Amino acid sequence: MQKVVWYVLHNSHEIDLYVNEYKRAFPGNDIQEGFPYWFGNKIRELKVKNDPSCTSELFALACGPSYTAVLVDSCVVNGVKFNVHNRDLRRSTQNSGISTPNPSGGMYYGQLEEILEFEYIPFKEQGGPVCVPAPTPITLGYVVVYMMRKDSL
């Protein structure tokens, strides 16, 4: 779950200010390991102080995702639909292939084996410090897509 939390935080530009603050405060610390915990505490402190910079979205990110992932066959990312390989086997047109740059300048190629969807639930305070899910959900669903080699199953 730590990898999922870090992936989402690392790819959320709305927290760049807090990432920079963490780097200045803890220059020698591993940001991937220490930042999520520090960020959660920082945002909860802002929430308690009713700081207007603590939006529902930031608070949901600080609380982390639900621990239940949903396995889906397809998803749309930036207007492009992706399918898992097993779903593509039954189709005449296929869209399970993906590629990503590697550090040496080449490309890694693969196919989607699983798509996991994690939900970030917004919270609001009701009559005290107890947090409950907000009655009107804010869309903060993140899809984590990863490739899995066939021989690792």
Cα–Cα distance between 116 and 57 in angstroms, integer? 20
Angle between helical axes of 31-48 and 2-10 (0-180°, round to 10) = 70
Domain that holds residue 21: 2-152
Taking alpha carbons only, the member of 74, 59, 61, 66 closest to residue 1 is: 66
**66 within 8 A of 118, measured Cβ to Cβ:** yes
Note down pLDDT in tens along the chain; length 153 residues: 788 888 888 888 889 999 999 999 999 899 999 999 999 999 989 988 989 998 888 888 888 888 787 888 888 877 877 788 787 777 777 766 777 788 888 888 878 788 888 887 765 554 443 343 443 333 344 444 444 333 333
Cα–Cα distance between 77 and 64 in angstroms, integer? 21
The most distant pair of C-alpha atoms in the chain lies apart, rounded to whole Å, by 56
Q: How many domains does the chain have?
A: 1
**Distance, C-alpha 42 to centroid of its chain:** 18
